[in-house]
Amino acid sequence: MNSLNSIICVCGSQQSYVDCCEPFHLATQQAQTPEQLMRSRYSAYVLKNAKYVYQTYASEKQAENPVKEIKDFADSCRFIKLTVIDSGYEENLGFVEFKANYFYQNLFCELNEKSEFIKEDGQWRYLDGVIHPVADIKVGRNDDCPCGSGKKYKKCHAV
**Extended beta strands in the chain, E state:** 77-89, 93-104, 107-120, 123-132, 137-138
Is residue 37 within the footprint of Zn ion (CB under 5 A)? no
How far is the CA of 7 from the CAs of 20, 32, 148, in angstroms?
Answer: 11, 22, 20
Distance, CA of 10 to CA of 16 (rounded, Å): 9
Beta strands in 49-92 (DSSP E): 77-89
Q: Is 157 in the site for Zn ion (CB under 5 A)?
A: yes
Question: Residue 20 interacts with Zn ion (CB under 5 A)?
Answer: yes
| C-beta closer to Zn ion: residue 43 or 49 | 43
Closest approach, Cβ 113 to Zn ion, in A, equals: 18
Contact with Zn ion (CB under 5 A) among 82, 127, 139, 156: 156
Would you count residue 11 as binding Zn ion (CB under 5 A)?
yes
User: Residues 21, 31, 46, 74: which binds Zn ion (CB under 5 A)?
Assistant: 21
Distances (CA, A) of 150 to 10, 24, 107, 143, 146: 20, 34, 17, 10, 8
In this chain, which of 41, 147, 155, 158 binds Zn ion, going by CB under 5 A? 147
- Interface positions with Zn ion (CB under 5 A): 9, 11, 13, 20-21, 39, 43, 145, 147, 149, 156-157
